Amino acid sequence: MDISINTRRMVGKRDEKIYGQFLEHFHRQVYAGIYEPGSPRSNSRGYRTDVADALKNIKVPVIRWPGGCFVSSYHWKDAIGTNREATYDKAWRSEESNEFGTDEFLDYCALIGAQPYICTNAGTGTPEEMSDWVEYCNLKSAGKWARKRIENGHPEPFNVKYWSIGNENYGQWEIGAKSSQEWGRFVLESAKMMKRVDPSIEILAASLPDIDWNISLIKEAGKFLDWISIHGYWDPIWFDNKLGSYETCMAYTMKIEEPIQKARHILGALGYLGKIKIAYDEWNLRGWYHPNVHNFADVPAEDCIKARDLNDENSSYTMADAVFTACFLNQCLKHCDMVKMANFAPAVNTRGAIYTHKDGIVKRSTYYVFEIFTHYMKEIVVDTFIDHNQTFMVRNETDAVEVTTIDSIATISEDGQELSVSLVNKHPMDEITLTIRMSGYSPNERATLYQIASNSVDSYNDSEHPDEIRIEPIDIAIQDGMIQVTLPAHSVNVLVMQ
């Protein structure tokens, strides 16, 4: 199989925010995740240093917070200052201590070097509450809430650039769900007030690749919007936690691009192509397990909360997750002209790339995908063509899906010196040998292949076996400007040439 790369044909420049992460006040993501006062692994401010170091290592560019469904009944003013009271989280039927709030989140972003992205309450919240939040974070001293921030020990503004109006307000499961007509008007009024406080902010609005939803949203509020946000979870295991097989997950890789294309065409049809960007600001292969919350079953809240522990079973996070994640990031690179942000959901625990326990952390398979992409993939996306890509069939209960075996994208550094190629072999059993030919680029005689592979599609890392899945560097020879490389089955690879 041949891959042809033409470095003279630029697809576009990727935005580093596609490697973003997400944190929600759900189960152990914040408390006992990134924040655990009293732990010997935490610093004086309560932040887990092992988690912070791991996030810094994957160069997290942006973090979306505090939700998620949680935000639609969250009132940020309950979680600032010294006199904080616990409140009941109606989204997830648990008590929220409010110990970790705006100041702590922004402090944490500064600690790991990530830009903050705040998602506002468009469920039970109001446009005024949202604009007050912008005032608290961004105004120097004018106004009650800016003065409150100074009183709380932060004399300089935080200058938060990214603000989302709402989460999934199109869904009946969301507190404060709205019709498309209601949503357009609500976003308009919210955006007006927020930008009157700080015109420099960029505003996102909860959306989905649906023409009816976006006609109202864009018609009413388009001139105030910088982004629309869409979400994607492909393995829908919210209520039964029955994880899809490796082969099923490979069939899902064929569906990653469709929502991006739909959103692109909708924005184009409405006259906003190139004016409004796409943020895939919640995404993961697998949905979070949270039974008996949205269906109003007569189940004690304690049982609902306990069930969420199953999200933390490390055996759930296999090569299927790694391969899917690499394919997703490849699509973000392919559509870098439109997709400028993506937030893996979540960063820590639940379905996150990092799992915490009292003695340390586990880096799951997805963690290493972010590591090789953020360390080795470059800024400029260039033309890539796979000749005669092999396929294999995945047969599910209802249909059969033809899956392409190789998923690839090429990038080059802005100075033109370093060429990196993402090479994903989705086949569950077969290794694939590729010949890579380059036009417009003359590499040195050696290259390095950074490889994530394992003996089994079901391999995983846990506290007792932390390195079952890891990155292995492999030296590759280049002859006459051409490379031949063999990719193991179910593997993620980045080839780096200079």
What's the confidence (pLDDT) of residue 308?
96
Residue 382 banded pLDDT, cuts 50, 70, 90: very high
Our count of domains for the chain comes to 2
Residue 42 in this model has a pLDDT that exceeds 90: yes
CA 369 to chain centre: 12
User: By the 8 A CB rule, do 252 and 234 touch?
Assistant: yes
What pTM, to 2 d.p., does this model score? 0.97
Instruction: Give the span between the Cα atoms of 65 and 344, in whole angstroms.
Output: 12
**What is the mean predicted confidence (pLDDT) over 142-158?**
97
397 lies in the same domain as 371? no
What's the confidence (pLDDT) of residue 398?
78
**What is the mean predicted confidence (pLDDT) over 133-150?**
97
256 lies in the same domain as 371? yes
313 lies in the same domain as 438? no
334 lies in the same domain as 414? no
307 lies in the same domain as 422? no
User: By the 8 A CB rule, do 67 and 121 touch?
Assistant: no
475 lies in the same domain as 492? yes
**pLDDT tens column, 25-35:** 999 999 999 99
SS3 (DSSP) at 140: coil
**What is the mean predicted confidence (pLDDT) over 4-13?**
96
Q: Of 329, 352, 376, which marks where a domain is finished? A: 376
462 lies in the same domain as 325? no
Instruction: Give the span between the Cα atoms of 369 and 407, in whole angstroms.
Output: 14
Residue 397 in this model has a pLDDT that exceeds 80: no
Instruction: Give the span between the Cα atoms of 54 and 461, in whole angstroms.
Output: 15
Selection from 64, 68, 382 nearest residue 227 by Cα: 64
Instruction: Give the span between the Cα atoms of 114 and 106, in whole angstroms.
Output: 9
- Domain, as residue range, for 385: 2-8+380-497
Instruction: Give the span between the Cα atoms of 498 and 489, in whole angstroms.
Output: 26
**pLDDT tens column, 270-314:** 999 999 999 999 999 999 999 998 877 789 999 999 999 999 999
> Read out DSSP for 410-425?
EEE-TTS--EEEEEEE
359 lies in the same domain as 388? no
Residue 56 in this model has a pLDDT that exceeds 90: yes
Selection from 32, 89, 461 nearest residue 290 by Cα: 89
- Two structure tokens written together for 385: 């063509």
Q: Look-up: residue for tokens 């692994």? A: 41
Residue 268: give its domain's CATH number: 3.20.20.80
Residue 363 in this model has a pLDDT that exceeds 80: yes
Q: Of 376, 399, 423, which marks where a domain is finished? A: 376
341 lies in the same domain as 477? no
Give the mean pLDDT of the chain. 97
Residue 399 in this model has a pLDDT that exceeds 90: no
351 lies in the same domain as 397? no
Q: What percent of the chain has pLDDT over 90?
A: 97
Q: Look-up: residue for tokens 């007569």? A: 298
Instruction: Give the span between the Cα atoms of 234 and 284, in whole angstroms.
Output: 7
Q: Of 328, 360, 376, which marks where a domain is finished? A: 376
**What is the mean predicted confidence (pLDDT) over 49-61?**
98
Residue 430: give its domain's CATH number: 2.60.40.1180
Burial of 177: CB neighbours in 10 Å, binned 0-12, 13-18, 19+: middle
Selection from 369, 373, 377 nearest residue 353 by Cα: 369
**pLDDT tens column, 247-271:** 999 999 999 999 999 999 999 999 9
Q: What percent of the chain has pLDDT over 70?
A: 100
329 lies in the same domain as 443? no
Residue 23 banded pLDDT, cuts 50, 70, 90: very high
429 lies in the same domain as 316? no
Residue 376 in this model has a pLDDT that exceeds 80: yes
Residue 154 banded pLDDT, cuts 50, 70, 90: very high
